[in-house]
Amino acid sequence: MTFGVRWFLPLVVVLAACDSGSAQPAPAPAPAPPRPPSVAESAGKITYGKLCAPCHGVEGKGYAADHSPSLVSATFLETATDDFIRRSIIAGRPGTSMGAYGKALGGPLDDASVDQIVRFLRGTAPQPVALAAVNKGDPAKGAPLYTEHCKTCHGDATTRGEAPHLANLQFQKLASDSFVRYAIEKGRPGTKMVAFGPVLKPAQLDDVVAYVRALGSAGPGAVNLLPAPTGKEPLVLNPKGKDPVWAPRENRFISVDDVHKALAAKRRMIIIDARPPSEWMQVHIEGAVSIPYHDMKRLDDVPKDVYVIAYCACPHHLSGIVVDELVKRGYKKALVLDEGINVWHQRKYPVTAAPGVTPPVNEPPAQPRGGL
């Protein structure tokens, strides 16, 4: 009997102490320190800052220029494969301000540099989710749903909205049905792309996916690029002509109509294509020289007594980088082509284009929006 009491009493005391809250719980383990970025991620951050941030923003949240989407929305990163991101960087989105950055297509990046950007974007990405297969939808049923819920932002086969253009041939090639459906269902947090899962029934989501696929059926075919710029193309157009008589907006922007009229009148000027050379190799304003925003060495050859017009597709950001550099060097006649090359091309003003290149679809003025 004494043996039982000797063990029973300490147990009662311990239980009473626990019940009264006097016992101290074990301290929670300290959170693991953040993982330092790898060498590849650090290199990718530098390259991203130089080439991508002007449009996608320093933090990757998008819409710093034109309609460049967020690259850090959780639902994007958890469903976009490395191959999707890699090939998007390499080939771009033809007909938009997203140029082809892969060296094989005339861009500035080799495969290793592209992979470094992918690693940088993946640095704080959520874990990938398993995407379910999509049931076969009916595009005819999806058409009115798309018109009601999607067309205002995403446009259609002939008109681009303020969000990514889902009819774009390169997007259609890379995005799986499951990727598209997940984006529609879950939205893009951090943008204006809301989740439509609570709005549409599962079969309706499948129908919208089917319609999105139909948007890409009339896209342009493959394009054979023009020869790469040599860096020795003549700079000055109409070297014996008079200077244009212009009244630039804000002393910085000149319209495509004014430049077209001046060229028709044989006025003297220099036109700089500020996009990556890959874009110049697809289409450029007739007589324009390639001096990309990321490699401006040839500005050393530009005379200061001639009007210099820089353009891009943004339409102001990349060309603005070149113009800012000229102004910093003391140039007094450096201007940005206000509407950019896409509007120039749409108005059928003179261009040099690779076979198969057609004018881009119409698009609204650039302003921040959400997207797929």
pLDDT in tens, 326-349: 999 999 999 999 999 999 999 999
CATH of residue 54: 1.10.760.10
Question: At 269, phi and psi to the nearest 5?
Answer: -170, 170
335/320 Cα distance (integer angstroms)? 8
Domain shared by 302 and 342, yes or no: yes
Answering whether pTM is above 0.75, one says yes
**Domain annotation covers residue 12:** no
Pair 371, 153: CB distance under 8 Å: yes
pLDDT at 284: 98
What are the tens digits of pLDDT across the range 248-261?
999 999 999 999 99
**Domain annotation covers residue 114:** yes
344/326 Cα distance (integer angstroms)? 23
The whole domain housing 180 covers 139-218
Domain shared by 118 and 156, yes or no: no
**Domain annotation covers residue 361:** no
Pair 362, 156: CB distance under 8 Å: no
Domain shared by 45 and 75, yes or no: yes
End-to-end CA distance of the chain: 76
Domain shared by 209 and 257, yes or no: no
Question: Which residues in the chain come in under a pLDDT of 70?
Answer: 1-36, 217-223, 364-372
**Domain annotation covers residue 245:** no
pLDDT at 129: 93
Domain shared by 288 and 342, yes or no: yes
The DSSP bridge partners found for residue 289 are 272
CATH of residue 303: 3.40.250.10
**Domain annotation covers residue 287:** yes
360/352 Cα distance (integer angstroms)? 14
Q: For the residues of 15-46, what is the DSSP string, one character each? A: HHHHHHT-SPPPPPPPPPPPPPPPHHHHHHHH
Domain shared by 337 and 290, yes or no: yes
The DSSP bridge partners found for residue 351 are 285
Domain shared by 345 and 271, yes or no: yes
Q: Running DSSP on this structure, what letter comes out for residue 218? A: G
Tokens of 190: 């951090």
**Domain annotation covers residue 227:** no
Domain shared by 99 and 169, yes or no: no
**Domain annotation covers residue 191:** yes
Q: State the total domains in the chain.
A: 3
Cα within 13 Å of Cα(347), Cβ side: 15
Pair 207, 141: CB distance under 8 Å: yes
Domain shared by 144 and 107, yes or no: no
pLDDT at 155: 87
